[in-house]
Amino acid sequence: MILKKIYASKIKNTSNFNNQIHNKHKQPNCYNIFEDKINNSSSFTSLKTKSKKQPILIIFIASLVISIFLFCQFASFSPLYANSLKRLIPKENIDTVAESAIICDLNSDKVFWEKNADIPMYPASITKIMTAIITLEDVKDLSKVVSISKNAAGRNYSSVYLKKGDKITLEDLLKLALITSNNNATIALAEYISGDVNNFVKLMNEKAKEIGVLNTNFENTNGLDDASPGHKTTARDLVKIAKYCMKNQKFRELVSTKETKIFINKKEIKIQNTNVLLENNFIKGIKTGYTSNAGFCLITYSIKNDLELLCVVLNSSSCGRDYDSLRLINWVYENFKYKKIVDSGRYFVKVSLKNDSSNVNLFLYPQNDVNSFVNIADDAIYYNYCIDDIGLPLYPNKKYGTLYIYINEEKIDEINLISHEI
């Protein structure tokens, strides 16, 4: 059988790689197909600023100071647009103020973009999601009222002051920890579950190993790191922890709460979430963080068009934290599509067979569908297929070949090519 090379539609101009993959993966009775570029005119909305001339000198000076501040915050960003038409944005045009970042699909292992995702970093108050999930799994009755100990009393960089002897439910302590990022609330939870903080921290590290994170070490319950230099994790580990936490419905409910009320000594106190991104209707959690060592940190959960994302940014700036997160999230929603790249209902290749008395056309179909995320700005889809040695007679639903699917240089799947009705 003669080796052929077939071109279908194309995702981008990758002639060099096309030659590489043709040679790299070529086998006897094997063929290459290169799928063409998906045209998409979705745009990435730019940030625009408007200025007005002000006759008053003080307003001019104030505007100048603000402008300098904003420039310092965002000067390290790469260009927002891939080209002058302001359409699609390839990966190389994405950057963050954050030293470490990652954005991925909640329901799979797909990573859309990452930056220093395996470097150990201080997580600050993002630590509290581990404290919270252990509490939620251990406590059967969150309405139980507990008394604040001397060790858990005080403000400790938190907005709500807890005094020794204060009466509060375990659920309200969770609200304080996850919604207002109260540091002492996590101490009170740890003492209730384990008797003291040290024993609870052991539970945190055991849970981390159970989840499968290998580059994380907890030294406290709240992320304060001045006295905890070894309290570190990675952006990739935080994604795994967050995925685990988001399986818990009560956890999801708490981290998506914009504002609520708690009761201390039966006195009502209104609290608001520290995550201002919740004002966007597609943002549904999960946790902010800040210390002077950690910088500004954030894990964000978003859902739009049935695509659920987790985004982590670590050691960003005060304004950059939210901007980094929204920029990455919007980039994924505008540039990635979840599409069927192999359709089992359509034949993939026709094989012509001959013997002494007849000619037969054999239509081979993929055994199953294949769906994948595709970056409409960057990704090239390739197909290689190999045909087995085929003899007559032919049989329905029998394997007669193999189809290999690649996105760029990575093989993502291989499936059988089978006959249907003969």
Task: Provide the 8-state DSSP code for 97.
Answer: S
Q: What pLDDT, on the 0 to 100 scale, is given for residue 69? A: 53
Task: Provide the 8-state DSSP code for 422.
Answer: -
Question: Tens place of pLDDT for every residue, the chain, 422 residues?
Answer: 333 333 333 333 333 333 333 444 445 456 565 554 433 333 333 333 344 445 566 666 666 656 655 544 444 443 333 333 334 666 777 889 999 999 999 999 999 999 999 999 999 999 999 999 999 999 999 999 999 999 999 878 788 989 999 999 999 999 999 999 999 999 999 999 999 999 999 999 999 999 999 999 999 999 999 999 999 999 999 999 999 999 999 999 999 999 999 999 999 999 999 999 999 999 999 999 999 999 999 999 999 988 999 999 999 999 999 999 999 999 999 999 888 999 999 999 999 988 777 788 899 999 999 999 988 878 899 999 999 998 888 899 999 999 999 998 889 999 999 999 76
Which of 377, 368, 312 is closest to 342 using CA atoms?
368
In three-state form (DSSP H/G/I as H, E/B as E, the rest C), the secondary structure along 31-53 is EEEEEECCCCCCCCCCCCCCCCC
Name the H helices within 75-169: 128-138
Query: In angstroms, what CA-CA distances link 379 with 2, 31, 43, 306?
Result: 29, 20, 18, 21
Cα pseudo-dihedral 165, 157, 299, 198, rounded to 10: -60
Burial environment of residue 130 by CB neighbours within 10 A (0 to 12, 13 to 18, 19 or more): buried
What is the value of pTM for the model shown? Answer: 0.76
